[in-house]
Amino acid sequence: MIKSILVGLDGSEHARTAGAYALWLAEKLGARLTAMHVVDLATIEGTFFHDISGSLGFEPYLDLSSKIRGALVERGELILEAFVKEAGAAGSTIEVVNSVGIVANEIAEHARIADLVIIGHRGANEKYSTGLLGGNAESITRKSPKPVFVTPLEFQPCTKPLLAYDGSTKAAAVMHQAAELCVQLGTGLTVLTVNPDEARGRGVLEEARKYLAPYNLEVSFELQQTGNAPERIANFIREREHDLLFIGAYGHSRIIEMVIGSTTEYVLRNAECPVYLHR
């Protein structure tokens, strides 16, 4: 049961969408919502060379780090205030946290007392990032002790969830969370497995069928035997217009280890829906 949600906000378009999903889920689930902004310590420390200039006698640059820190903290307060107003208009009450530190570390620390972390696919420094996610988003998915809900650029209510299931321990864990959440949201659930061996694939789906049978859910099962798993999952989402994907952080191919692996990388890059990652 999700009763506590933590959402990361940085003023970007992606974060605004993350906020919209957070408000929507909090209302649907009756969950407590905490909005968090982190002043990136690396941004402040990046003014080091400006401070050197100041120490050499260039007065305008003296104590630039503390001035930038103050300005960024104030900006964070404005971002949080705007979200609180939006939440109030939606009838929600939230807690806010405005901290200074390493973004992923701060969010992971606060995630210890949350059930779900919601973040945007990319952040305020999107144009400077490389790879599938913004740098902070990638670090959060690796460090968070709780499931992470990665949102796309556009918001839409989740009414047609998909579970990527391969029979692994982590996939079984996310299947439990998918079932619980879908019951709370009042949706059905599609279970997809990708396996070229028909007998094994149907065996995996039968495991899922037995597990999900006690839940009050309308469940459909799909076996895909062609194509590799990452491409097949992403294509299936697009073809069937699914609006939420549940996936385990480790599968038989160890999707996430110390860094994001190829399966999740491909799915996150190509899926046009939120991805619920369970580690």
CB 143, CB 112: distance < 8 Å = no
Q: Which domains does the chain have, with CATH numbers?
A: 4-151 (3.40.50.12370), 161-278 (3.40.50.620)
Highest mean pLDDT among 51-65, 78-92, 182-196, 216-230: 182-196
Residue type, 229: A
| C-alpha dihedral sign at 28, 32, 37, 38 | negative
Point out which residues pair with 5 in neighbouring strands. Answer: 33, 116
Q: Please determine, for residue 52, whether its predicted confidence score (pLDDT) is greater than 50.
A: no
Q: Please determine, for residue 205, whether its predicted confidence score (pLDDT) is greater than 70.
A: yes
CB 237, CB 271: distance < 8 Å = yes
Provide the pLDDT for residue 249: 67
**Structure tokens that stand for 71 in this block:** 């300005």
pTM: 0.86
Alpha-carbon distance of 255 to 272, in angstroms, equals 19
Quote the crossing angle between the two packed helices 13-29 and 64-89, to the nearest 10°.
40
**Structure tokens that stand for 116 in this block:** 């779900």
| C-alpha dihedral sign at 183, 119, 154, 16 | positive
CB 29, CB 184: distance < 8 Å = yes
- In the structure, what pLDDT confidence band is assigned to residue 237 with cuts at 50, 70 and 90? very high
- In the structure, what pLDDT confidence band is assigned to residue 209 with cuts at 50, 70 and 90? very high
| Residue 11 Cα distances to 61, 123, 126, 152, 276, angstroms | 26, 8, 12, 15, 22
CB count within 10 Å of CB 210 equals 9
Percent of residues, the chain, with pLDDT higher than 70: 81
- Taking alpha carbons only, the member of 98, 139, 133 closest to residue 11 is 98
Residue type, 57: G
Question: Over the chain, what is the mean pLDDT?
Answer: 84
- In the structure, what pLDDT confidence band is assigned to residue 139 with cuts at 50, 70 and 90? confident
Higher pLDDT, 41 or 191: 191
Arithmetic mean of pLDDT, 10-19: 94
